Amino acid sequence: MIFLDEMKPFHIERVKRQLSDTLQHKIDHKTKPVGALGMLEQLALQIGLIQQTVTPVLSKPAIVVFAGDHGIAMEGVSAYPQEVTYQMVMNFLNNGAAINVFCAQNGIGLKVVDAGVNYDFPEHSELINAKIGRGTRNCATEPAITAAERDMAIEKGAEICAAIHGQGSNIIGFGEMGIGNTSAASLIMSKMCKIAIENCTGRGTGVSDEQLGRKIAILRKVASHHSINDPLDVLCAFGGYEMAMMCGAMMKAAEQKMIIMIDGFIATAVFLIAHTLYPAIIDFAIFCHQSDEKGHAGMLRYLNARPLLRLDMRLGEGVGCALAYPIIKLSVAFLNSMASFDAAGVSEKK
């Protein structure tokens, strides 16, 4: 067992930028005005630098949905009961959720991981059993997970990502499912970004105005109960097994120089932890959309990150990654296939 508070097991380097001028020249000399493809051009440059080539390729895109239950749900912070976590996992396995539809439409491989659901699932070809525990402890009274559990989850997430990379994938996104995990993400955001909890807390699964006020009051009390700043301690205090596992997968993906698709509010909260530990991970990250969940815009500003889409979504599951993937794919397509001015015999701007 590797304990991350004693040593950092990941080797994540900033991408080398020697190809920047060559890639930018290729982008600028396509048959279009300079900058006319906007963020597609920035994506093409980023992906070319990640892969260190002027002809990048996207191989076997994958999305992994990590699922886990949260003890904080006992405090009534969600509009839905805890059993919805396992019920939605079954829905994923039966191909009935939004993420199933969008992955199938866009040719993305999907895996579902039981990181810590309070339920015993039957064996299924698309389910990875990586259960650390049957839901976390209630962070209103004690840390949600122990350091040993955190490290076990991070290690398992890294193993899952390594296996997907070993099957030929070079682009991966992460989703989540867990009643109570928007509360966990709000607490993580508040501690990591030094922002008041009321500015980090939204409706999650759709609580009413009265429930939202109660949720903020509960989370304010929970935040004051934990006097911590270290990112790994923050992950223990508030995080879920699925969040710690996703964190390990993100860090392993960057170590393997994969493109990382970041989903919404909860995935970005997890990314905050990984980024604090390894700032270089930002080079590999594409922020797929801005969630309608209150707080996500603030996290994106904190990271100086610009999302590809804003569709007023707050579903989770990794759906932002699945919707953004065709745009990412098109950025590579134009870089590789669009004619240059010279090749097309088109005069450039004087």
Same-domain status, 137 and 195: yes
Q: Is 180 inside a domain boundary? A: yes
With the C-alpha atoms ordered 51, 57, 59, 62, is the resulting torsion angle positive or negative?
A: positive
Same-domain status, 49 and 78: no
Dist CA 41 CA 239 (whole Å): 36
Same-domain status, 41 and 68: no
Q: Which amino acid is at 38?
A: G
Same-domain status, 38 and 165: no
For the chain, what is the domain count? Answer: 2
CATH, residue 182? 3.40.50.10210
Q: What is the DSSP string of 113-143?
A: EEEE-SS-PPP-TTEEE----SS---TTTS-
Q: Which amino acid is at 81?
A: P
- Give residue 164's domain range: 62-329
pLDDT digits (tens, 9 = 90+) for 12-45: 999 999 999 999 999 999 999 999 999 999 999 9
The mean pLDDT value of the chain amounts to: 94
State pTM to two decimals.
Answer: 0.95
pLDDT digits (tens, 9 = 90+) for 224-239: 989 898 999 999 999 9
- Residues annotated as catalytic are 317
**Three-class SS of residue 275?**
helix
What is the DSSP secondary structure assignment for residue 180, as one 8-state letter? T
Q: Would you state the pLDDT for residue 8?
A: 62
Same-domain status, 234 and 297: yes
